[in-house]
Chains A and B, each alone.
Chain A
Amino acid sequence: MNLEGLNNFFQNNAIYIVMIIVLIVWIGIFLYMLTLDKRLKSIEKELIGDKNEK
Chain B
Amino acid sequence: MIPKKPPEAGEILQGTLDMLILRTLVMGPAHGHTIAQVIEHTSENALEVEQGSLYPALHRLEDRGLLSSEWGVSENNRRAKFYRLTAKGRKELSAAAGRWRRMTRAIGLILGDSIEPAGD
The reply to whether chain A is a binding partner of chain B is no
Chain B positions within 8 Å of A, measured between CB atoms, are: none
